[in-house]
């Protein structure tokens, strides 16, 4: 099976495992307040964060198709560190109709982990997937099952070296206030079976619960996508206490439909 098809099922299982697990709690799943990580920001954080990234933001023509609603051009060398407040400011002020995240907080920890909480604007997911050439199969599943504008929380140790994932250790994942079981989500021992696409939701959940290398599928796909981002190259990127250290290049211009 192609990597994109495998990835579609992995994305879908994030919500499918959870909906069919028997621990579904409506009020928790539909919580409208993201987890508070204690990170706030000011205009100065936004100004300093953008200055460090050296990215110039421009407006695309309003008639630009969804697949081109984000255009990255050129590149600049960057060797700097972003604070939690600076990255929180950047992520809450991304221009463009493609961007689906809001009410975001980002926290960098001394143990090399990063925490992120926020909310997803479901109405923008179709444009977001088109912009990044995301698997249509995954989008179809997510749009069907995901509630409107869900909140999320995640924590992981992660790093990049030579523009590939060096460390990927997911620790927590929540949609609403319900924890996603990372064991069955990221495990894999058996070969993927294409007949899963013909099954109903409960059968897909049962099928995917057998597998144990879905984490590697996500890593492979992410490494592939990192190599396709115009102007982006991470020689080294890792987390320290209140800092994302980045050395490499970032796009010089970001052109978006607004």
Instruction: Summarize pLDDT for 47-95 with one digit per residue, the tens.
Output: 999 999 999 999 988 888 888 889 999 999 999 999 999 999 999 999 8
Q: What is the mean pLDDT of residues 219-239?
A: 91
Rounded alpha-carbon distances, angstroms, from residue 42 to 27, 89, 114, 150, 218: 32, 7, 20, 25, 34
Alpha-helical (H) ranges within 20-117 are 26-29, 43-53, 84-91
Q: So what's the pLDDT on residue 163?
A: 96
Q: What are phi and psi of 155, to 5 degrees?
A: -140, 135
- Taking the mean position of all CA atoms in its chain, how far away is CA 17? 19
DSSP 181: -
What range defines the domain where residue 91 resides?
3-256
Could you tell me which residue, 224 or 142, shows the higher pLDDT? 224
Q: What is the C-alpha separation between 154 and 106, in angstroms, rounded?
A: 10
**Closest of 255, 249, 237, 253 to residue 77, by C-alpha:** 249
pLDDT in the model for residue 132: 78
CA distance 11 to 135: 9
Give the orientation angle of helix 43-53 with respect to helix 84-91, to 10 degrees.
90
Q: How far is CA 173 from CA 41, 117, 182, 202, 253, in A?
A: 24, 10, 7, 21, 32
**Reported pTM:** 0.79
Q: Measured between alpha carbons, how far is 169 from 155 in angstroms, rounded to an integer?
A: 9
d(C-alpha 132, C-alpha 83), whole Å: 26
Inform me whether the pLDDT recorded for 27 exceeds 70. Answer: no
Domain count, the chain: 1
Q: Is 167 helix (H, G, I), strand (E, B) or coil?
A: strand
Which helix (H) or strand (E) element contains residue 153?
Answer: strand 151-161
């Amino acid at each position: 099976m192609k990597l994109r098809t495998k990835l579609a099922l992995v994305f879908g299982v994030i919500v499918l495992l959870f909906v069919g697990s028997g621990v579904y709690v409506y009020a928790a799943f539909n919580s409208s307040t993201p987890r508070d990580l204690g990170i706030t920001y000011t205009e100065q954080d936004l100004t300093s964060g953008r200055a460090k990234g050296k990215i110039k933001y421009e407006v695309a023509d309003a008639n630009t198709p969804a697949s081109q609603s984000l255009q990255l051009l050129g590149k600049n060398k960057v060797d700097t560190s972003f604070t939690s407040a600076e990255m929180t400011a950047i992520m809450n002020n991304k221009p463009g109709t493609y961007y689906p995240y809001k009410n975001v907080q980002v926290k960098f920890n001394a143990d090399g982990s990063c925490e992120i909480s926020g909310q997803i604007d479901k109405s923008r997911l179709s444009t977001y997937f088109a912009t990044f050439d995301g698997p249509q199969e995954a989008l179809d599943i997510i749009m069907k099952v995901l509630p409107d504008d869900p909140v999320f929380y995640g924590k992981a140790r992660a790093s990049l070296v030579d523009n590939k994932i060096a460390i990927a250790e997911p620790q927590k994942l929540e949609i609403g206030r319900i924890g996603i079981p990372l064991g069955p989500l990221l495990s894999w021992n058996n070969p993927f079976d294409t007949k899963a696409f013909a099954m109903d939701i409960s059968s897909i959940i049962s099928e995917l619960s057998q597998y144990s290398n879905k984490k590697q599928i996500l890593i492979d796909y992410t490494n592939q996508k990192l190599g396709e981002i115009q102007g982006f190259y991470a020689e080294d990127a890792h987390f320290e206490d209140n800092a994302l250290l980045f050395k490499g290049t970032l796009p010089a211009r970001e052109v978006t439909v607004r």
